[in-house]
Chains A and B, each alone.
Chain A
Amino acid sequence: MNYQTQEFTYSRSTDQRAATPVRHPVVIVGAGPVGLALAIDLAQRGQKVVVLDDDFRLSSGSRAICFAKRTLEIFDTLGIGDQAVAKGVSWNVGKVFHREALVYQFNLLPEPAHKHPAFINLQQYYAEGFLAERAAQLPNIDLRWKNRVVAVDNAASGTTLTIDTPDGEYTIIADYCVACDGSRSPIRKLIGEESKGQVFKDRFLIADVKMTAPFPTERWFWFDPPFHPNQSVLLHKQPDDVWRIDFQLGWDADPEEEKKPERVIPRVQALLGKDVEFELEWVSVYTFACTRMPKFRHGRLFFCGDSAHLVSPFGARGANSGIQDANNLGWKLDAVLRGQANEHLLDTYGAEREYAADENILNSTRSTDFITPKSEISRLFRDAALSLAKDHAFARRIVNSGRLSLPSSYLNSSLNTLDEDAFDGGVKPGAPALDAPISRNGVNTWFMSELPPSFACVVYKENNTVEVSRMDTGASQNFVASTEWISRYDAAPGTTYLFRPDHHVAARWRAYDASKISNAVRRALGQ
């Protein structure tokens, strides 16, 4: 399937003939990776979802190309994790160069015994294509292409959307509306809100080149390389023999000129060497900003992904954090729509993900400041750190070519039940579950694969037994813990963890106590 040329067909919805606007429980605006992930999550929970997209194609160009382990774990819950990993390029090793020399290298997943690698590289159109195919299998999802929202009335009784289509305008009402419509979010503009923050005065050239040269599957980052002096360069491998190269150009570069093949090809040739043959797949020049909306929830309207927050590309925190937004909001909307929780739970989407956005913006801003120093003295310190890094271990910790995306831990969330028992490490309330091998009847599996989409109680018992129980149906299964599982959860017989439906820890104890667990579930539902 060529996801770059695939076109989806518009078809007229019965809503367009309705005498009065039809009301829907959830309307998602934007069929990008975040909107599709949220739609699938909700549909799998039994909710009916309308998804509106103003276009009829998937992502143009490779765009987001790094999908982190946590995203792959979420993709597993959506049914596309194995497909993404099979197609993606797995890498763990990163190398940092300064001028001619290798300064150091790092391995992102020194800890073995996780189902998924630290990262895969995968063109955004593959991730979107897999999600779109999965969404098409779910009858609860009504995906409407060429449906452009042109007006929003975000009232207390419901969000009314006016939608333009090839057959003219129509109106629907949403109990809850989620804007996953990207960094230039039309919905955000329609309600008169802004995403505010810092714009960086620099330009980068992205060149996706196709070649079969024998470069290793690693992330290579150059500061001030001989082939592109005074600027930085990043090289990454994607599937289908496509390589992503990012060249820093500086603020004065002319974006239109720099996109021309006669400008791009010599830059690429200088990096690869003069005998390497390649062809250009996609070229783009970008600037970047770190911004966010002050609030991600506006009554019945929610903002997810780039519409809510924007980061610089260093660290792969854009798409990855958007997928985590969807993972956070899905179960909360479901619980409220089922009447299991009140509206207050939806406020915690804002609180938890605004905190996560701040963390991502902080990390991404620091990386950007290191990579593109803004003053003479800033550049002097950066070059000093790079120069010391080769022989002085501490300086390697200062070198910052992007702190690659790790999931946020909601350690201060009001949904957590604070520890009353002593733990030496383990997974704290608010943190996402950690993977580890477990087995059942001699068959090996992964802990993350066995966590249900509901609240789950996990009890470690005698004889290395781990009991995983669904809190909704009461169904439970016993597994045999690996030493890695026991150590990652600091487990001793009696240790009990309560996981939320998004697989973050809600509470933990040293002994099983049913009344404490039900109190913690109520708390995690915002009651």
Chain B
Amino acid sequence: MLLNTESNMQDFDAFYEALIESHRDLTTAQSHEMNAKLVLLLANHVGELDVVRDALRRARETVLATKA
């Protein structure tokens, strides 16, 4: 199975609102910790190592492609 990068959610605006809300009142360090835990939780849910590797690669590539 490949990483699905097509739209795969009904209500992105509600998701995004919940995501930002979940970080409310956290310090930057706490937000980092939370994001790390979120990655671990979601990776476990995905379950397929190839799919997770593909996501890791894409995320890293877009970071390196962005000018500092």
- Measured CB to CB, the residues of A under 8 A from B are 99, 363, 366, 369-370, 375-378, 381, 385, 387-388, 391-394, 396-398, 400, 403
Q: A99: which B residues are within 8 A, CB to CB?
A: 67
Known: A363-B13, A377-B26, A377-B31. Is A369-B20 also a contact (CB below 8 A)? yes
Q: Report A103 CB to chain B, min CB distance, Å.
A: 12
* Dominant secondary structure at the A interface: helix
Q: Which residues of B in the span 12-68 have a Cβ within 8 Å of any Cβ on A? A: 12-13, 15-17, 19-20, 23-24, 26, 28, 31, 58-59, 62-63, 65-67
Determine whether the beta carbon of B28 is less than 8 Å from that of A392. no
- Measured CB to CB, the residues of B under 8 A from A are 4-9, 12-13, 15-17, 19-20, 23-24, 26, 28, 31, 58-59, 62-63, 65-67
State which of A366, A375, A391, A394 has its C-beta within 8 Å of the C-beta of B23.
A375
Name the residue on A nearest B32 (C-beta): A377
25 pairs, A vs B, C-beta closer than 8 Å: A99-B67, A363-B13, A366-B16, A366-B17, A369-B20, A370-B16, A375-B23, A376-B31, A377-B20, A377-B23, A377-B26, A378-B20, A378-B23, A387-B65, A387-B66, A388-B59, A391-B58, A393-B6, A394-B5, A394-B7, A396-B7, A397-B7, A398-B12, A398-B16, A403-B13
Give Cα distance in the complex from A391 to B17, angstroms.
23
Q: Report B33 CB to chain A, min CB distance, Å.
A: 11
Q: A387: which B residues are within 8 A, CB to CB?
A: 62-63, 65-66
Give Cα distance in the complex from A307 to B58, angstroms.
48
Give Cα distance in the complex from A391 to B67, angstroms.
16
5 residue pairs, one from A and one from B, having the closest CB atoms: A397-B12, A377-B31, A392-B5, A377-B23, A394-B7
State which of B13, B24, B58 has its C-beta within 8 Å of the C-beta of A392.
B58
Q: Report A209 CB to chain B, min CB distance, Å.
A: 30
Name the residue on A nearest B11 (C-beta): A397
Q: Report A527 CB to chain B, min CB distance, Å.
A: 36
Determine whether the beta carbon of B28 is less than 8 Å from that of A377. yes
Determine whether the beta carbon of B31 is less than 8 Å from that of A400. no
Give Cα distance in the complex from A381 to B65, angstroms.
17
Give Cα distance in the complex from A363 to B13, angstroms.
8
Give Cα distance in the complex from A397 to B28, angstroms.
26
Known: A387-B66, A398-B12, A403-B13. Is A381-B20 also a contact (CB below 8 A)? yes
Q: B63: which A residues are within 8 A, CB to CB?
A: 387
Known: A376-B28, A381-B19. Is A394-B9 also a contact (CB below 8 A)? yes
Determine whether the beta carbon of A394 is less than 8 Å from that of B6. yes
Give Cα distance in the complex from A77 to B19, angstroms.
43
Give Cα distance in the complex from A381 to B23, angstroms.
11
Q: A370-B16, A392-B58 given; name 4 further pairs at CB < 8 Å.
A: A377-B20, A381-B19, A391-B5, A396-B7
Q: A370: which B residues are within 8 A, CB to CB?
A: 16
